[in-house]
Amino acid sequence: MRIKTKENASLLMALVPTLMVAGAMFWGGKVWWLILIVSVVVFALLSLFFLLMMKAYVAYKLKPIYSMVLSRDVHTTEIVDEMKDKHVENISEELTAWANDNDKEISRLKDSEAFRKQYLGNVAHELKTPIFNIQGYISTLLDGGLEDELINRKYLERAEKSIDRLINIVNDLDTISKLENDMNRLKMERFDIVALAKEIVEQLEMEASKRNIQLIVKGADSLPSKFWVVADKHYSGQVLVNLIINAIHYGKEGGFVKVKFRDMLDKVLVEVEDNGVGISKEDLPRIFERFYRVDKGRSREQGGTGLGLAIVKHIVEAHGERMNVRSELGEGTTFAFALKKKESAAN
């Protein structure tokens, strides 16, 4: 018999004195049936006694650990109850699992704390540049630049550009924080995604013409289209705006930006394609991170905040979908995401 359980241990412990009692009785010349009866009774009583003692001892030893795990004062009887249908080994396994969970939680908290610090640092850094620029232009104007016809207008325009940049960063930060707090509060409605894309493309035509880029919405010839979806219209629009603006900014001068739709049974796949600079394989996994930019100079020059794709990812994931991107350096990039289809108002 292996002493793996407290029951086995108490049986073994009771066996030794029982044998001693039986031996003494046999030595004393007692009849066999009396020896048997006394031995059985002694064995049963001692087993029970050892079992109770052992439980009480283990419970006493486990009490501080249980109190720590459950964060309250645990009574010994509660632990004895717990041990009724559990072996001590199982309890130790449970405690080890709890300790592992705790370790994981602590490292998750550490990661999120490191992320929070880095994020805060990035926000401060991003805000600092335009603020210092504005300060510089205004100081120069106050120090006499205001009367200098050659620079006064130029510096005011530059200060205005920095203010626009500040507004863009603050607006994007505001959107991210709203998305983080209201993830579940999307206003789902049925709408024609092609019509929405067409509307957005019309608004961005001016921006595209600055780089002589042709904006094409495939499937927008006959509206209403066959691509009706159920999603948050405002946020879906924001995804399209951010992706199309990026495609214009990082697209090829004189090139194209195509918005395409694919039927995928119960979903519509929306793709935004450009034939621009493309993104290297090393940068591709990081472009959705907040403030990550492949080419910092180009991003700033185009008025980018480095938050556009982070917002896009947030919105698409809030709809229960995933952002996909494929890109070839120097060839172009295609961003894709799916939305749930809603054929008609009835279904």
Using the structure block, give the residue that is written with the tokens 């994981």. 104
Task: Pick the piece of the chain touching ligand ADP (CB under 6 A) from 88-96, 102-110, 193-201, 242-250.
Answer: 242-250
Of residues 47 and 275, the one with the C-beta less far from ligand ADP? 275
Phi then psi dihedrals of residue 274, to 5 deg? -135, 165
Among 246, 261, 323, 338, binds ligand ADP (CB under 6 A): 246
Closest-CA residue to 241 (of 122, 325, 335)? 335
* DSSP 8-state code for residue 347: -
Cβ at position 250, least distance to ligand ADP in Å: 3
Give the neighbor-by-neighbor strand order of the sheet with 214-217. Answer: 214-217, 256-264, 267-274, 332-340, 324-328
Cβ at position 283, least distance to ligand ADP in Å: 7
Of residues 10 and 175, the one with the C-beta less far from ligand ADP? 175
Cβ at position 101, least distance to ligand ADP in Å: 35
| Tokens of residue 58, six digits | 């283990």
Cβ at position 210, least distance to ligand ADP in Å: 16
Cβ at position 95, least distance to ligand ADP in Å: 45
Cβ at position 248, least distance to ligand ADP in Å: 9
Phi then psi dihedrals of residue 266, to 5 deg? -95, 5
Of residues 195 and 294, the one with the C-beta less far from ligand ADP? 294
Of residues 198 and 249, the one with the C-beta less far from ligand ADP? 249
Rounded Cα gap, residues 335 and 4, in angstroms? 60
Of residues 159 and 312, the one with the C-beta less far from ligand ADP? 312
Q: Amino acid identity, residue 104?
A: K
Rounded Cα gap, residues 277 and 16, in angstroms? 86
Site size toward ligand ADP, by CB under 6 A: 21
Rounded Cα gap, residues 275 and 258, in angstroms? 9
Give the x/- contact pattern for ligand ADP in 194-233, rule: CB under 6 A. Answer: ----------------------------------------
| Residues 253 to 312 in contact with ligand ADP, rule: CB under 6 A | 274, 276-277, 279, 287, 292-295, 299, 304-310
Q: How far is CA 175 from CA 130, 134, 169, 171, 272, in A?
A: 20, 24, 10, 6, 22
By CB under 6 A, is residue 130 in contact with ligand ADP?
no
Closest-CA residue to 258 (of 302, 320, 216)? 216
Give the contacts of 239 (CB within 8 A, at least 6 positions apart).
312, 315, 316, 337
Among 186, 247, 259, 270, binds ligand ADP (CB under 6 A): 247
Task: Pick the piece of the chain touching ligand ADP (CB under 6 A) from 33-41, 187-195, 225-233, 246-254.
Answer: 246-254
Residue 337: strand, helix, or coil:
strand
Residue numbers at the binding site for ligand ADP (CB under 6 A): 246-247, 250, 274, 276-277, 279, 287, 292-295, 299, 304-310, 333
